[in-house]
Structure 1
Amino acid sequence: MTFISYAQNFEDIRLWRALKQFENGFYIDIGANDPTHDSVTKAFYDRGWTGINVEPMQAYYDALRQQRPNDTNLQCVASDSAGDLTLFGIPGTGLSTVDPATAEERTALGMDVHRQTVKARTLSSICEQHAQNRAIHFLKIDVEGHEETVLRGMDFATWRPWIILIETPWARDHTWEHLVTDAGYQAILFDGINTWFLADEHLDLKPAFDIPPCNLDNFQLCRGHAFSHPVSDADQQLTAALQRAEHAEAQLRAMQNSRTWQALHKLKKTLLRT
């Protein structure tokens, strides 16, 4: 079965290579954003996995609730303590942040930044309530400068994600990295966007990360992916037409299977014979 990749930098392909032998796996996505576009977890959800999505922005949270009914979707941010925080929201992007310095930089760049108050929870409390005794196969963190406070709210002695990937574009001088490595994880990869860590007890998975994604992974990029050809108006119209045709066929099959249609069809055949 061809693997359809939705993630922005092949993250889901790397994860699938390491974890595809496990059925009904479990993930945690901190800063989940859109349920499909650039999603690290979409391909896993489509294969029966479930998890926890943490997303404070209303539009993305609503979309997650609609498209991910089997997931636990939480409208909050992860932090080092519970309470209220100011979210600097940038609608329609994955660039919203609770880090004031990052927000100032994005305001200076002319981005449309809106302040709003959001609820904060620790990652440990989220795991305690919603992960329970589940194995956490991977934890993804994409929080735009808020990484350290997220990590300080996690008890890695109790909750042991097998794989952790943290978005860290360009910068490599992380003051927080010791919070992960001191907790029994090894940094195994920087892919240009994310730093990847493996739990010491799961270092047997490391060979899956030794080479970049390639055609041996049997994957295709989803329609509209940034690394693929853009979707044209004609493509969108064709997709809409195919969806309408599939809907019409489904309605026709439902009508043909109805008792009324079968009775009328039987009556017509009887009349034709007389």
Structure 2
Amino acid sequence: MKKRRFHGQFDPPVDQYLFERFFPTLRGGVSLECGAQDGLADSSCLFFEESRGWQGVNVEASPPIFERLRLNRPRSTNLNVALSNRAGTARFTHVVSPQYGDNFGNGSLTHLPAHRDALAKEGCQFVEHEVRTVTYPELIAEAGISRLDLFVLDVEGHEAQVFESMRQGALLPSVLCVEHGHFGVEKMREMLAGLPFRFDSSLHVNSYYVNTLNPPSKPGALARLWDRMRGD
């Protein structure tokens, strides 16, 4: 059996946790990663595209980082927009790190004060860009998504606006992985009230939710056996 190559952050990596807990046998799925950065570093969905035949949709608001994403993930649908609760334009704050340069991530439409202060103390610089904003239903339509197995959301403090947008009526994912680091697990659960998601688990700075109306299918014994026989 060939060794699986995961790309996600932490140990175990986010993509390994997602794969083993929710999608151990699913092939040909669809993922949406919002806050995708350059599509390689700490990617939570690249594994599924490379190894499981999934179609990936990547959203990155930062113009400088998006150019790298576009080059790194040519097989994916890549969108240079910011997901929010209204369509139009807004100021996106791109963060430049003294250690990692402008491929740092941590950019946001609405940094929380404590987060911005911490970045400033690290010597980070802030560069503002005017970016296009879209609502969740508009994003689903623009990307041509007709099924959605996994949505990974990492928007650095703008989560409440995204959840508001998800309530506007559109296809929802079977599994939602959202960074809770700026708010905490319980606050994130409160923010998701009214959406059909059941809290499943949390690991490191991420919380995982399952859609009660459209949960991921549980693989049967034959599917698991076939997967082992394939060796990947």
TM-score, length-normalised on structure 2?
0.79
Query: 5 Å matches for 1:74-223?
Result: 74-90=79-95, 91-100=102-111, 101=113, 102-133=115-146, 135-155=147-167, 157-169=169-181, 171-172=183-184, 175=187, 177-202=189-214
Partner of 1:14: 17
| Structure 2, gaps ≥5 residues long | 96-101, 220-232
Cα deviation code 1:182-241 (max 9, x no counterpart): 21111111112101111113557699xxxxxxxxxxxxxxxxxxxxxxxxxxxxxxxxxx
Q: How far apart, CA to CA, are the structure 2 residues paired with 1:16 and 1:95?
A: 25
Q: How far apart, CA to CA, are the structure 2 residues paired with 1:181 and 1:159?
A: 17
Q: How far apart, CA to CA, are the structure 2 residues paired with 1:75 and 1:158?
A: 20
Q: How far apart, CA to CA, are the structure 1 residues paired with 2:81 and 2:142?
A: 14
Kindly tell me: are residues 103 and 161 of structure 1, through their superposed partners in 2, closer, same or farther at Cα, counting changes over 3 Å? Answer: same
TM-score, length-normalised on structure 1?
0.68
**TM-superposed deviation, 1:87:** 1.1
Q: Secondary structure at the match of 1:16?
A: helix
**Which residue identity is paired with 2:66?**
Y
For this pair of structures, how many residues does the alignment match? 206
Cα deviation code 1:59-81 (max 9, x no counterpart): 32112211212211111110000
**TM-superposed deviation, 1:132:** 3.8
Aligned-residue identity in percent: 21
Contact persistence 1:142–1:166 (CA under 8 A): yes
Contact persistence 1:198–1:206 (CA under 8 A): no
Q: Does 1:68 align with 2:81?
A: no
Kindly tell me: are residues 173 and 19 of structure 1, through their superposed partners in 2, closer, same or farther at Cα, counting changes over 3 Å? Answer: closer
Partner of 1:255: none
Contact persistence 1:88–1:103 (CA under 8 A): no
When structure 1 is superposed on structure 2, of 50-59 and 120-129 the one drifting more is 50-59
Larger radius of gyration: 1
Q: How far apart, CA to CA, are the structure 2 residues paired with 1:193 and 1:205?
A: 25
Task: Provide the aligned C-alpha RMSD in A.
Answer: 2.3
| Higher helix proportion (structure 1 or 2) | 1
**TM-superposed deviation, 1:131:** 3.5
Partner of 1:247: none
Partner of 1:223: none
**TM-superposed deviation, 1:142:** 0.4
Residue from 41, 51, 54 that aligns with 2:45: 41
